[in-house]
Structure 1
Amino acid sequence: MGMSDDYCSTQLIDGDGTFNVSGVDNFVKAVKLGECGLSYAVVSIMGPQSSGKSTLLNHLFGTNFREMDAFRGRSQTTKGIWLAKCAGIEPCTLVMDLEGTDGRERGEDDTAFEKQSALFALAVSDVVLINMWCHDIGREQAANKPLLKTVFQVMMRLFSPRRTTLLFVIRDKTKTPLENLEPVLREDIQKIWDTVPKPQAHKDTPLSEFFNVEVTALSSFEEKEDLFKEQVATLRQRFFHSIAPGGLAGDRRGVVPASGFSFSAQQIWEVIKENKDLDLPAHKVMVATVRCEEIANEKFVLLAENEDWRHLEEAVQSAPVSGFGKKLSSIFHTCLSEYDAEAVFFDEGVRNAKRQILEAKILQLIQPAYQSMLAHLRSRTLDDFKEAFDKALTSGKQFALAAYDCSKHSMSVFEEGCTDATIEQANWDPSKVRDKVRRDIDAHIAAVRASKLSELNSLYEGKLNKALSEPVEALLDAASDNTWPAIRNLLQRETESAVSGLSKDISGFDIDQKITDEMLASIEKYARSLVEAKAKEEAGRVLIRMKDRFSTLFSHDSDSMPRIWTGAEDIRAITKTARSASLKLLSVMAAVRLDDDSDNIANTLSLALVDTTSTSATNKSITSFDPLASSTWEEVPSTKTLITPVQCKTLWRQFKAETEYSVSQAIAAQEANKRNNNWLPPPWAILALVVLGFNEFMTLLRNPLYLGIIFVGFLLAKALWVQLDISGEFRNGALPGILSIGTKFLPTVMNLLRKLAEEGQKPTDVGPQRNPPTDQRAENGVPIYSDSASSSSSTITSSINEIENSSTLQQRRVEKN
C-alpha cells in the first residue's frame, strides 16, 4: 500500500481474484473513510489494456497508479483492481483502476475475470469511466464493443435501485467536433443495448433506466500534452461535489455508508466469485445488518466498560443513589447517540431494528441496577415510615390520623424517588414496587394496630382481673344469700366501666364496627369467664372454706372471742349453727349464678343433709328418694355447675367427719370443767366423815397444838398446790398430771424449804428484855400456852404466805409467757 500526505492506494483485488481484506481495512483506517458517512463517491475506470487508463486517473485525480512505460513496449501494467483516494477533491472520492480488457496475458478465452471485475465496478462505483479510442467510434469491430456488451450483460445480473453514471472518455480526439462524435457514440451504445439479451421483466426497459450516459473527449497525451492537461483539469472540476443532486454521482440510492465500504466490497466480490446474481438492495440490507450489529455490539461493550456506569452500578448495590435516573439516562443517551452517529447512513429499517436490539441489551444490563434502586427506595420508605409512625404515636397523635399522614408522606417520598430513578429510555413501570410498598406499609399499620389493640385488651383485662378477682373471692368466702347478687352487680359495674373505656380508646383506630363489637364482646366475655374461673377455683377449696367457717363460728363467740367451754354453753345448738353456715357456703359454691336465675340448691342441701337426722330418726323404716343422688341440679345447666349433688354429699360427709373431733373436744372440755369446779365430796362422804371422825375431832379440840400443826401443814399443802398447779395439770388427764407433778415435786419442795431457811436466818428486832410471866393455868384439864406458840405460828404463816405469793407470781409469769 502506497501512502503520502495527499493520496493513499492499495491493491483491492489481486490478479488471481483474491480480495485483500487486511489491506482494504488498513486503507479505510488510513484515509478515515468511516468518518465520511454517505459523503463519499467511488469512481472506477475500465477499458482496453494499454489505453492510458492509469495515466488518465493520475492526471485527473492526482493518484499514483503505475503507468505503462512506452519505451518498453505495450504490456499489462495493472493487474487486478487497485484502489486509491483522490487528492484535493471534496467529497472524499475513491478511484478504482481495473485491469484492462483484451489483454494478451489472459488470452481470448479467459474473459471470466473481465466480467467479474466489470460487475464489481458497476456494483461498487457511482461513476464508471469507460476509456475508448476516438477512431473506434462508428466501427463495427471497435475495441470497446465487447467491453460495452460485457457491461450491459452483467448489468442484467445487478439488481440496483440507482442509476450508474457511464462517463465515456474519448481518447486522442481528432478534429471531428464532439457534437458530431457524441450522437454516433450514443447510437452505437443503443444498438449494443438492444442486442444484449435481457430478462423478460426488462425486455423493453430503456437504457436510461439503468445508466446515466455522459460523453467527454480528450486530446492525445503524447501529441498535445498541454491541451490534454487543460481538458483533464476541466473534467476534474466535474468531480467536485459530485454527490450533489444533478452531479455525476447524484443518485445516492443504495449507497453503502463509508464505514461499511470494506465489508460491502468484500461481500460483493464473494457473491460475484460464486457466479450469483447480485441483488444490491438485499446486499445493502445485509451490509447494514452486519455493520449495524457490529456498531451496536461495540457501543454495548463500551457502555458495559464505562467507568461512570460501573461506579453507578457498584454504588447502587449498597445504597440509593441520588440522581440515579439522570445519570443513567445520560450514559444511555450517549451510547445511543454514538450508535446513531455511526449507523445513520445504513438502511433505516436495519438501523432501527439493531438500535432496538441495542436498547434491549442495554436495558437488560441496567435493569438489575434499577431494581436495586427501587428495592433501596422501598426499604428506605418503609423504614422512614416506621420511624415517623412511631414518633407520631409516641407524641399522642390519634392512630388513624397518624397512619394516614405518615403513609401519605412516605408514598409521596417514594414517588419522588421513583421519579428520580426513572430512566428516560426505559418505559419501566414502578407500579408493582409501589404496590409492594403500599402493602408493606399497610401490613405494618395492621401489625401495629393489632399490637396496640392487644395491649389495650390486655390492659383492660388486667384492670378487670384486679377489680374482680379479690372482691369475688371475698364475696364467695362470705357466702350469704346476697353473694351472687353482689357478684352480679360487681361484674356489671366493672364490665360497663371496661367496655366504656375500651370503646373510647379504640375509637381512634378507625376499625370496622364489626371488629369493635367483637372486641367489646370479648372483654365482656373475659370478665364473665374471669368470675367463673374464680368461682371454680374457690369451689375447689370449698372443703377448706367450710371447715374454716365451722371453726370460726364454733370456736368463737359473737364477739369473735375464743370460746371457753365452762359448761353453760349449748354445744349442740352451736354445732348446728356452725354446720348450717358451712352448708350455706357449700350451697353458694355449688353453681355459678351470673344470670339471676333462681334455683333450689340451698333447700335441697338443707333437706338432704341437715334435716335428714330428725327425719331418719322418726322414719327409720321408710326409704325415701335421695335428692343428692344425681350429677346435675334441677334448673341449673351443667355448664354452670361447679359442684354436683353427688360431690356435695361426699364433701358434707367428709366435712362432718373432720369436724367431729372439734365437737368431741368441746364436750370433753366442758365435762372436765364441770369436774374441776366441783370440789366438795358427795353428801354421803361428808356424813361418813362426821360420824367416823368424831373422836379425832374431839382430840383436836382437847389439844390445840395439833391445830397449829394441822394449820401449818395446810399452809404447806396449799403452797405446794399452788406451786405445782395441780388442778391445771390434772385437766390434761390423770396419768399426764401425775407424771408432770412427779417431775416438779422435789424441786418445788427444795425451793420451799430454802425460803423457810432464809426467813429463819433474818435478824429480829431486839427490845428491852423482860421475863414474861409464866402463867400456867389449866382449864378443864387442858394446858394453855401463852404468846410463844402463837408467835411461832404467825411466823411460819407469814413465810408460807410469802412463798405462796411468790409462787403465784411465778405461775402468772409463766402463764403470760
Structure 2
Amino acid sequence: MDHRIGRSQTTKGIWIAKCLSNGRFTLVIDIEGTDGREQGEDDTAFERQSALFALVVSDVVLINMWCHDIGREKAANKPLIRTVFEVMMRLSSPRKTTLTFVIRDKTKTPVDSLERDLKDDIQKMWDSLPEPKAHKKTPLSECFNVEVVALPSYEEKEVEFKKEVACLRQRFSSNELGGLVGDRLAVVPASEFSVSSQKIWKEIKENKHLDLPAHKVMVATVRCEAIANENYDAFAQNKEWSKLKEAVQSAPYPGFGDVLSSLLDTYISKYDGETTYYDEGVRSGKRKLLEEKLLQLVQPAFHNLVENISSSTLDEFKEAFNTALDRQEGFSVAVCRCTESFMAQFQEGCADAAIKQADWNTSTVTDELERGMKAHVASVYTLKISELAAHCKGKLEQQLSGPVKALLEGPSNETWPTLRKNLSQEIESVLSGSCPAFPGFDMDDQTKGKIQASLEEHARRVVEAKAREEAGRVLIHMKDSFSRHFSHDSDSILRVWNGGEDVRAVTKTSRSAALEVLSVLAVSRLDGDDDGKNVLCTLSRALLGSTNVPARDGNVRTFDPLASNTWEEVESSKTLLMPFQCKNLWGQFLADAEIIVSKAFAEQANKRLRLYPWLIAGVIFLGFSAIKKFLR
C-alpha cells in the first residue's frame, strides 16, 4: 500500500508464494481481507471459502486484528470463525492447526489480558457448536493451537515493530518450544500439494453450507414454482382424472388407487424432469409442495370413494345377516361371521382405493361402519326378541285362557290358589319348552330376567282381564251358585219340596254360597290370599246378618261397611268390584232369588193340601170321624 495515494485494497483473491527469508521451505498464503469495501456488504461467500481454505491447508493461520477491535463481534471476525469451525468439522477429520492472532497497535493493556479474552471467546464459540457424531465432545485443543502475538504501532514505533516481526518470523522455522509449525503428522508431500489444494478448493466451493448463490436460488425458486404450478394445472384439467372423480361420487370404483397413483406419478415425474438442473434444495422443496397440493386435490375423491364402499358394505351386511337368520343360523354365530367377513371386505376395498403417494387414515369411516353394523344387529335383536316374546305370550295366553275361564266361571274358595298354581306352572312350561327356544342369542341373565318378568306380567294381565270379565257377570254366577245349592242336596240329587224339607235353612245355605262367589270375584288375589281375607267377612256381616253395633246416641246412624269405593287393606288396582257395587248386586240377586224361594214354598204348601186317593176311599167307607181318629 502506498500511503501517498490513500487507502486501497492490496490483495485480491488468494496468493501463494515461497518464503525465502527463513531458510526452510515455507509457503505463504496471502488472502483477500474479510472486511474490505471492494467485496461489498452482501457477498460473504468468498470470504468464508477462502478462510476455510486457509485453515485446511495451512499449519499456521495468522489472523490480523487491530487491538481496538478485540471484543467486537464483526470486526474481530468471530461470525466468520464460527462458521468455518462448523463446516471444517463436517468436511473431514480436522487436522490440528495453529491459530495465531496478531494484534496490531497494542496499547497499555497487558498482552496476557488480551490473550485471555481472545482464548475465552474462541473456546465459547467452540463449545456452542452443534458437533457431529464423529466429533462429539471433541476438545478445541485436539483441532487447534491458539496463540496470541501483540505488535506495536508501525508508524509510532517502527524499529520496535520490525524487531518483533523478525522474532515472529523465526518462530515459523522452529520445532522447539514456542515454534509455530503446528501439527506435522498430517502434512501433504510438496509434490502433491498443488493437486491436493485444488481438490480442497473444489470441495469447499461445492459445499452448500458455504456457497451462498443468492441469484441461483432465486432463479430456481421462480422456475421450479412455475413448473410445479403448470403440472398441477395440467393434472387438474386431465380428462382421465375428471372421469375418475365423477365416477366415485355415487359408487365404488375398483382399481381407483392404481389409476390415481399412476396419474400422480406422471405429473410428478414430469416436474422432476423439467427441474433437473435447478438447485436441489429449491427443487425438492417445490416438489414436496406440488405433491401436497395434488394430494389435497384428490383427497375428497378418495374420501367419497371410501364412504361409498362403506355404504355398499353395510347394505350387503344387512342382507347377508337377515338371510342367515332366515336360514335359522344362530344369531350370535351369524353376527360374528357376517361382521368379520364384511369388515374384511371393507378393508380390501380401502386398500384398493389407497394411493402410494399418501397414507390417509380411514379409521373414522371404519368406526362409522362398525357402528352401523352394531346398530342394525341391535335393531334386529330387539325385533327378534320381541317376536319370540310375542309368540311365547300368545302361547301362554292360549294355555291359560281355558283353565282360567273354567275356574272363574265356578268361583270357590279354591279358585285363586288354583289360579296362582296354574299361572306359575304355565310360565315355567313356556320358558322351558312349550315356547320355541331363543336360538343362538347368548342372552345374559339380565336379558333373560327381563323376558321372564315380561311373560309373568303378561300372564297376570291375562288372568286379571279374565277375572274382570267374569266379575262383570258375577250376578249370573251368583244365581247359578244359588240355584245349584238350592235345587240339589249335598249328593247333587234334585230336591223334592215336601213337608220334610226346611226351605229357610236351604235358602240360607244357598245365599252363603252365592255370597262366597261374590267375595271371590270382588278382589284379585294373584299375590296371595291376604289381599282379600276380610272381604267375605265384611260381606257376610253386612248382607247376611245384622252385626251393626247400635250407636249410643240415637241420633247417630249406624255405619255401613259397604258404603265405600275401596276395600280395607286392598289396593285399588286389585279391586274387581267395589263394596257399594257388591251391595247393589246383592240387592239384585235377592230379588231374583226370592222368586225361586217363593216357588219352593208354594210347592211345599200345595203338597200339604193335596188329598191322597186312599184317604177319599176311607172317608166314604168309614166316615170322616173314623178317618180323623185313624190319622190321630
The answer to whether TM tops 0.5 is yes
2:244 matched to 1:303?
Answer: no
**Aligned to 1:368, which of 279, 283, 300?**
300
What secondary structure, in the 3-state scheme, does the structure 2 residue paired with 1:428 have?
Answer: coil
CA shift at 1:522, angstroms? 2.6
Q: Which amino acid aligns with 2:576?
A: L
Distance 2:392 2:355 in 1: 54
Contact kept? 2:217, 2:282, Cα under 8 Å: yes
Distance in 2, matches of 1:485 and 1:614, equals 32
Larger radius of gyration: 1
Change (3 A) 1:601 1:296: same
- 2:321 — aligned with what? 389
Q: Which letter maps to 2:469?
A: E
Q: CA 1:589 to 1:292, structure 2 compared with 1: closer, same or farther past 3 Å?
A: same
Cα offset, 1:479, TM superposition: 0.3
8 Å CA contact 1:503–1:520 kept in 2: the answer is: no
Offset from partner CA, 1:262-309 (integer Å, 9 cap, x none): xxxxxxxxxxxxxxxxx9833333333322222122111111122221
TM-score where L is the length of structure 1: 0.45
- Counterpart of 1:212 in structure 2 is none
1:438 aligned residue: 370
Q: Distance in 1 between matches of 2:556 and 2:297?
A: 104
Residue 493 of structure 1: CA displacement? 0.6
Question: What is the match of residue 377 of structure 1?
Answer: 309
CA contact (8 A) 1:382 1:437 kept: yes
Matched with 1:538 is 470
> What is the CA-CA distance between 1:528 and the residue it aligns to?
2.6
CA 540–362 in structure 1, closer or farther in 2 if over 3 Å, else same: farther
Structure 2 residue matching 1:378: 3-state secondary structure: helix
- Residue 317 (structure 1) aligns with: 249
Q: Distance in 1 between matches of 2:602 and 2:225?
A: 122
Distance 1:611 1:358, change over 3 A: same
Is 1:405 the counterpart of 2:330? The answer is: no
1:353 aligns with 2:301: no
Cα distance in 1 for partners of 2:276, 2:331 equals 61
1:484–1:154: structure 2 CA closer, same or farther, 3 Å change rule? same
Change (3 A) 1:404 1:673: same
For residues 636-715 of structure 1, the aligned pairs below 5 Å read: 636-657=570-591, 659-660=593-594, 666=599, 670=603
Indicate how the Cα distance of structure 1 residues 562 and 357 shifts in structure 2: closer, same or farther if over 3 A, else same: farther
On the 8 A contact 2:499/2:607 being kept in 1, the answer is yes
Compared with structure 1, are the counterparts of its residues 304 and 561 closer, same or farther at alpha carbon in structure 2 (3 Å cutoff)?
A: farther
Task: Tell me which residue corresponds to 1:331.
Answer: 263
The verdict on how the C-alpha distance between 1:641 and 1:448 changes in structure 2, with shifts beyond 3 A counting, is: same
* 1:329-370, Cα deviation, whole Å (9 max, x unpaired): 111121211122222333333333322332222222212211
CA distance in structure 2 between the aligned counterparts of 1:582 and 1:426, rounded to whole angstroms: 90
Within 2, Cα distance between the matches of 1:553 and 1:360?
101
The range that moved more, 469-478 or 344-353, is: 344-353
User: What letter corresponds to residue 588 of structure 2 in structure 1?
Assistant: Q
Which residue of the other structure, out of 510, 523, 526, is the alignment partner of 2:458?
526
Match of 1:419 among 339, 351, 356: 351
Tell me the CA shift for residue 577 of structure 1: 4.8
Aligned partner (choices 396, 406, 412) of residue 480 of structure 1: 412
Q: Aligned pair 1:606/2:530, yes or no?
A: no
1:131-165 residue CA offsets vs partner (Å, 9 max, x unmatched): xxxxxxxxxxxxxxxxxxxxx999748748589xx
Distance 1:284 1:605, change over 3 A: same
What do residues 236-258 of structure 1 show as CA deviations (whole Å, max 9, x unaligned)? xxxxxxxxx99xx9999799xxx
Partners of 2:592 and 2:41 in 1: CA distance: 130
Aligned alpha-carbon RMSD (Å): 4.7
- The one-letter code sitting in structure 2 at the alignment partner of 1:454 is S
Which residue in the other structure is 2:126 paired with?
A: none
Kindly indicate whether residue 519 of structure 2 is the aligned counterpart of residue 587 of structure 1.
yes
Q: Distance in 2 between matches of 1:483 and 1:638?
A: 21
Name the SS for the 2:440 alignment partner. helix
Residues 216-365 of structure 1 aligned to structure 2 (within 5 Å): 281-365=213-297
Matched residue type, 1:605: L
- Which ranges in structure 2 are unaligned for 5 or more consecutive residues? 1-35, 48-73, 81-197, 617-632
SS in structure 2 of the partner of residue 652 of structure 1: helix
1:6-25 alignment, distance < 5 Å: none
Question: Retained in 1: the 8 A contact 2:392–2:435?
Answer: no
Residues 1:359 and 1:663: Cα distance change in structure 2 (over 3 Å)? farther
Q: 1:497 aligns with which of 415, 426, 429?
A: 429
Q: 1:493 to 1:254 in 2, by over 3 A?
A: same
Which amino acid counterpart does residue 510 of structure 1 have in structure 2?
Answer: D
Task: Please state how far the C-alpha of 1:644 moved relative to its aligned partner.
Answer: 3.7
> Contact 1:254–1:284 (CA<8 Å) still a contact in 2?
no
| Paired position in structure 2 for 1:147 | none
Q: Alpha carbons of 1:645 and 1:327: their partners in 2 closer, same or farther (altered >3 Å)?
A: same
Kindly tell me: are residues 568 and 344 of structure 1, through their superposed partners in 2, closer, same or farther at Cα, counting changes over 3 Å? farther
SS at match of 2:426: helix
CA distance in 1, matches of 2:391, 2:517: 33
CA distances 1:437-462 after superposition (whole Å, capped 9, x unpaired): 11111111111111111111111111
Is this contact kept in 1: 2:497–2:603, CA < 8 A? Answer: yes
The 2-side partners of 1:160 and 1:622 are apart by 127
State the 1:611 CA deviation. 3.4
Cα distance in 1 for partners of 2:369, 2:226 equals 42
Paired amino acid for 1:437: L
SS in 1 for 2:249: helix
Are residues 548 and 157 of structure 1, via their aligned partners in 2, closer, same or farther at CA, if it must alter by over 3 Å?
same
Do the aligned partners of 2:499 and 2:608 also contact (CA within 8 Å) in 1? no
| Cα deviation code 1:541-593 (max 9, x no counterpart) | 43344345556666899999999999998765665454333212111112222
Counterpart-to-counterpart distance in 1, 2:416 and 2:203 = 115
Distance 2:381 2:370 in 1: 16
State the alpha-carbon separation in 2 of the partners of residues 605 and 441 from structure 1. Answer: 62
User: What amino acid does structure 2 have at the position aligned with 1:435?
Assistant: D
User: For 1:342 and 1:300, how far apart are their aligned partners in 2?
Assistant: 14
Mind listing any 5+ residue stretches in structure 1 that lack a counterpart? 1-151, 164-198, 206-244, 256-278, 684-817
**Alignment TM-score, normalising by the size of structure 2:** 0.57
Shift of the 678–363 alpha-carbon distance from structure 1 to 2, 3 Å rule, reads farther
The one-letter amino acid of 1:331's match is L
CA contact (8 A) 1:377 1:414 kept: yes
What percent of counterpart residues are identical?
50
Q: 1:459 and 1:358 mapped to 2: Cα distance? A: 66
Aligned amino acid, residue 499 of structure 1: L
| Alpha carbons 2:503, 2:601 under 8 Å: kept | no
Pick closer, same or farther for the CA change 1:283–1:482 going to 2, 3 Å.
same
